Amino acid sequence: MQVIYEDNHLIAVNKACGEIVQGDKTGDETLIDQVKAYIKEKYNKPGDVYLGSPHRLDRPTSGIVLFARTSKALTRLNEMFQDKEAIKKTYWAVVAELPEEEEATLEHYLWKDETKNKSFASKKQKKGSKLCSLSYVHKATLNRYHLLVVDLQTGRHHQIRAQLHAIGCHIKGDLKYGSDRSNTNGGIHLHARKLEFIHPIKKVPIKIVARPPKGDAIWDELILIKDLKE
């Protein structure tokens, strides 16, 4: 577990592929458990440690997960994550197919198939679907793969994966959404790169940036490109 931001109210970690934010049927250790243990040890806290989770990342996705260390911060973060203007969420997605447009805004209606744990994006509205939106820019090409920098305007289930699939762009390693092969680590090349927001308590601008997983040839090469540095 890598802590990348911490103060009295917030803590952010750079999630690895395969880690889960909250408990599921696997019973595997969660990021919440790890962060609580970290806080308990670092600050020698007796009893239970408070930690709130205002958002999550898919298990095969890497990158920033932000937690609240106080109930006041959690209440405000929950409101902020519901407001598409309050938090700017930037992802890196490595895809096998180059999109038709170098940059674009995608709007779809998204619905979730609970039995398959999969979302579907369509231009047509259907019962139970929700409008979703993202913007992307093609930033780099390495061999046969392409980096899209994605700004997420809404936060639906598997949104980036489903919307890119809908335009024929498949994230490397994402078998569920059209990739032709898996990655050796079981993850996918989708990374929550950056969060920008006004601190919910201190009211100052915060920018958190997470490095993609080390040791992966594509991520390691991308991180060296000058135009991509923060």
Q: Which of 7, 24, 48, 58 is catalytic?
A: 58
- Please give the DSSP secondary-structure letter assigned to residue 191: E
**Catalytic residue status for 180:** no
- CATH 3.30.2350.10 assigned to domain 2-228? The reply is yes
Q: Which of 3, 87, 93 minimizes the C-alpha distance to 39?
A: 3
Kindly give the confidence (pLDDT) of every residue in the chain, 230 residues in length, as a single tens digit, with 9 standing for 90 and above.
899 999 999 999 999 999 999 867 777 889 999 999 999 999 998 889 999 999 999 999 999 999 999 999 999 999 999 988 999 999 999 999 999 999 999 999 999 999 999 999 999 998 989 999 999 999 999 988 999 999 999 989 999 999 999 999 999 999 999 999 999 888 999 999 999 999 999 999 999 999 999 999 999 999 988 778 76
Q: Which of 104, 122, 110, 97 minimizes the C-alpha distance to 174?
A: 97
* 3-class secondary structure, 152: strand
pTM of the entire structure? Answer: 0.95
What whole-number distance in Å separates Cα of residue 17 and Cα of residue 67? 18
What whole-number distance in Å separates Cα of residue 95 and Cα of residue 150? 12
**Tokens 């940059």, located at residue:** 103
